[in-house]
Each structure stands twice: as structure tokens, then as C-alpha cells.
Amino acid sequence: MPGQPMPGQPYGPQYAPQQYGAPQQYGAPQQYGTPQQYGAAPPYGPGPYQPYPTAPAKKKPIALFVIIGIVVVALIAFCTYWFVIRDTSGGGGQPTVTATGPTTDTPTALPGDAVTGFMQALATGDSAAALGFLANVPDDTSFLTDAVLAASNDLSPINNVTVTPPSGTDVTSVDVTYYLGEAQEYATFGVVMKDGGYLLTDAISTVDLSDYYQPGIDMALNGVPLDNAAIMGINLFPGQYQLTVGNALLALDSDTFDVTAPNTTTADGSDIVFSDTAHSKLASAVSSKLKGCLKQKKLKTDCGFGVNGSPSVRTSTINWTISSGSSDFSKTKFKLDDGLTSASATIKVSVKMTCRGTNGASYYINPIAIKAVSVDFTDPDNIDVSFLY
């Protein structure tokens, strides 16, 4: 150790032989221990100095200390893994639960046990286990299912749960911190002693989705269909939730929200917008409809432009063409209508027709201007296109 001589070395430094004066120059011999301790003292007088011989120091059991040190380090590493690093939930995506602070001596389950078990059940997607920690299970459990929990964990899994056991005997709530995805959250759960153990009295949130919901577009929450009767008060576990729209041409500009602590709340609203592929699909549908009508051998086409038929016209000679504009609508700006499953756009296209009569004479129709287009995509796989003049 620092400040002490190494084992097996004599106290004091070794000196090369020198000539010294009278022995009193070096002080009393007890500096090196009494003569009895080291044997008879050498005679004093002129001549080389002879240090007092030292008794051999007992060698310390270095090997034993090394073994003890290794065992201590191993124990520290094991305890660090078992109590700090180890995922106590038993699998990936499950919470690591730790407890801090004072505990209670109650012989039954600790108040924090219910919270710990509840959070572990949520993280593992076990809705039945989670409901088992509730003092009162809600009547409507439509969204308190394994499938909804699985969707929630796919969005933002619950992990790194730390439950703080409360002190005292009259315990009514337990604090917990956890991560929802990468965001740290805080919550307080109410607890009550029931049937010899603690259960949660306040763990479910009731969420109003009125500002989100739009009828007729097949909306769903974490995969469960929504209807107008259910949106006012949906019971949800803590987690992240996503609203989806069944119509492929529609989306929500904000489609997720978090439930982090037990409460009753109204989720912020979201606007219905076109999906990323909507404009290209609408433009393609309009272009296909116009091109199809231009190929028709009719005086009055299915697109609505033309005139009533005449028996004197040879239909095989009818030829429709674009006199101005284009059948390419890829840059057309469509506007979503209030009905949400229809849209409209302003276009500038003119078409004309030429033909021959049965008498061989040539006929034509002056250019007809198409000013706008309306599309109905209630069925996104069969878009209905109407031209306006």
C-alpha cells in the first residue's frame, strides 16, 4: 500500500559501506527495533556500517487476495445484471421494471405490484392479464384487446418502467415512469385493497374521438372499425393509437395520438386530406375517361359532349379530336369536396367532331369547351368521372 514499505523489505534504505564516526551520531538503536527483536547489535566503532538484520517478513497471501477480488467483482457484475440491467419482463419489447423508495410491510401484495403487473401486461400485449389488475373492468372492452395492444406496441412499445412504491399504510395511489417509444411518460394509478390484495382503480382512459371521426370513409382505430355510436367514449389502455381511413385516396393529416395517463379526454381533431397517391389516380381516371369518349363513334358521347344523332350521318365516319388543351391531367389541382369522397377541378379542354353523311357530304361540330371535371371515388377502384361545360 502507498506510504508503507513493500512486504519482505527491511525498514529503511540500504546504504553502501561508509565510514562513520562515533555511534552516538546515528541515535538510539530503537529506530530499528530493540536488539532482542533483531538479535545482538553489532559493535559500534569505526568501520563499515552494518545495518541491523531484520527478521524475514511473513509473506502475505497474495493469491488469496486475488481470488477474493475476482469473486467480489463477479458478485458485483451479477448483481448489476440481475437488479439493474436484466429485463424483468422476460422478453423483447417488454418493460424493465424497477422499484425505488420505501416499501410497506403489508403481508399481502404491495401496492406497486398491481402497477408493475399491469404495465408488464400492456408491454407483452396480454389484455386479459391487464384487465385482471383492475378493480372494476369497463363494460365496453372493444378496444381493450390483444389486437389493439399489439398495434399499439408496434407503433410505440412500452419499456423501461419504474414503479415507486409508496410509504405508509393508507395507500391510494402509486407513481410510475415509463417510456412510450422514445418519450418518457409519467402517470399516477389509483389503487385499492380488495380481496386481500391491491388492484387498480384508475388505469383506463376514456377518449372522445368526435373531432376525428368522419362517416362514410371506413375509419378505424388500431384496426378496430369506428362508428358514430362508439366515438364519444372509447375505453383505452395507455399506449399509442393510430386512426386509419379505409378509402385509399384519403388520409389524415395527423393520424396518431398517445394515451399516457388515466384520464377522460377529447383527442385533438385531424383534417381529412388526399393520400399520397390520390392526385395521380384521379388524373389517370379523368384522362382515361376523356380518351375513351374521343374514340366513340357517337354524335353524343358518354362524356356528355356532342349533339343528338341524325339518321343521315354515317357513324363509322365520326371522328372526335381535341382542338385545344390536352388529355394529360397530371398537373391538374383537384379539390376535395365536403362529401369527402368526391373532388373537382377546373380544366380547359375543347373538342370537335367531323363526319360524313350518307349522301357523302362532310359535316362538323364546332369546338365544345370542357370547363371542369368532377370525380366520385366512393369506390376508389371505380372512379366515376363527369365533365362540366
- So what's the pLDDT on residue 115? 93
Q: What is the DSSP code (8-state) at residue 350?
A: E
Grid cell 380544366 in the structure block, residue: 347
- So what's the pLDDT on residue 165? 82
Q: Which residues of 176-209 are buried (b: 16+ CB within 10 A; e: fewer)?
A: bebbbeeeebebebebbbeeebbbbbbbbbbbeb
Q: Where are the beta strands (DSSP E) in the chain?
A: 98-99, 158-164, 173-180, 183-194, 197-202, 205-208, 219-221, 224-225, 234-236, 239-245, 250-252, 256-259, 264-266, 272-274, 313-324, 335-336, 342-357, 362-376, 384-388
Name residue 362's beta-bridge partners.
356
What's the chain's length in residues? 389
Report yes or no: 122 and 238 within 8 Å, Cβ to Cβ.
Answer: yes
Burial label, 220 (beta-carbon count in 10 A; 0-12, 13-18, 19+)? middle
Cell numbers placing 67: 481470488
Give the CA angle between residues 91, 237, 212 to the nearest 5°. Answer: 125
pLDDT one digit per residue (tens) for the chain, 389 residues: 444 333 333 333 333 334 444 444 444 444 444 434 444 444 444 444 344 444 444 445 555 555 666 666 566 666 555 444 444 433 333 444 444 433 333 333 688 989 999 999 999 999 999 999 999 999 999 999 999 999 999 999 999 999 988 877 788 999 999 999 999 999 999 999 888 889 999 899 999 888 788 888 899 999 999 987 678 789 999 999 999 999 999 999 888 999 998 886 766 778 899 999 999 999 999 999 999 999 999 999 999 999 987 778 999 999 999 999 999 999 999 999 988 999 999 999 999 999 999 988 999 999 999 999 999 999 999 999 999 99
Cell numbers placing 208: 372522445
Q: Which residues of 89-114 are buried (b: 16+ CB within 10 A; e: fewer)?
A: beeeebbbbeeeeeebeeeeebbbbb
Q: What is the DSSP code (8-state) at residue 304?
A: S
Q: What is the DSSP code (8-state) at residue 280?
A: H
Report yes or no: 352 and 368 within 8 Å, Cβ to Cβ.
Answer: yes
d(CA 48, CA 283): 113
Give the CA angle between residues 246, 247, 250 to the nearest 5°. Answer: 115
Report yes or no: 34 and 65 within 8 Å, Cβ to Cβ.
Answer: no
Name residue 173's beta-bridge partners.
190
R_g of the chain, CA atoms, integer Å = 44
- So what's the pLDDT on residue 210? 81
Q: Would strands 250-252 and 384-388 be described as parallel, antiparallel, or unpaired?
A: unpaired
Grid cell 399520397 in the structure block, residue: 276
Q: Where are the beta strands (DSSP E) in 2-121?
A: 98-99
At residue 378, φ and ψ (nearest 5 deg) are -55, -40
